Amino acid sequence: MGDDLEKVLVTEEQIKARHEELAAEIDADYAGRDLLLVGVLKGAVMVMADLARWLHHPCEMDWMAVSSYGAGTTSSGVVRILKDLDIDIKDRNVLIVEDVIDSGLTLSWLVNNLKSRGPASVEIYTMVRKALAFKVDLAVKYVGFDLPDEFIVGYGLDYAEKYRNLSFIGTLAPHVYNR
């Protein structure tokens, strides 16, 4: 695994500290209101598990699996629901939990889809926002780290389903994705 990585961008300690800060903001922002965390499978699993444990505010958790299809490795903006929520979100305060916003197309679609179900509110929590995401008009309330547009993996982020289990976020060595 060591050879596949180029450098560490965000350490496990930095991730932990950022969750702690943002969880305190969420506790304050949602005081007196219900909170439903919606994790986007599979990348958001680590973020969800850690964020939820830093929150003092009571919350529920539900999951969606979506797939953006189209050619290539980049998101097309055309999204298909593979697994929908179990919970009815009408009048609920929804906080979508993501590992990374890249083009922002997945979340643009998801926010609109969830808003059409009549929730009280819909906000976004992402551990990483890449520079490209600014091209779409997406209000992201909680951002862990703004990172440049590099090939990053770890802490939920995969390359061909691998490297999700790294406890830090790093860049992949070019020889891995060029082979």
Torsion of CA 106, 109, 110, 116, to 10 degrees: 180
Rounded Cα–Cα distance for residues 102 and 107 (Å): 10
Token pair for residue 30?
Answer: 């949602």
99 forms part of the interface with ligand PRP (CB under 6 A)? yes
Residue 91 backbone dihedrals phi, psi, to 5 degrees:
65, 10
6 forms part of the interface with Mg ion (CB under 5 A)? no
Residue 136 backbone dihedrals phi, psi, to 5 degrees:
-100, 155
12 forms part of the interface with Mg ion (CB under 5 A)? no
- The answer to whether the Cα torsion of 85, 68, 37, 169 is positive or negative is positive
Each residue 144-163 as x (binds ligand PRP by CB under 6 A) or -, in order, gives --------------x-----
Q: How many residues line the site for ligand PRP (CB under 6 A)?
A: 16
43 forms part of the interface with Mn ion (CB under 5 A)? yes
Nearer to ligand PRP, 27 or 103 (CB): 103
Which residues in this chain contact Mg ion in the complex, by CB under 5 A?
158
Footprint of ligand PRP on this chain (CB under 6 A)? 40-43, 68, 75, 98-106, 158
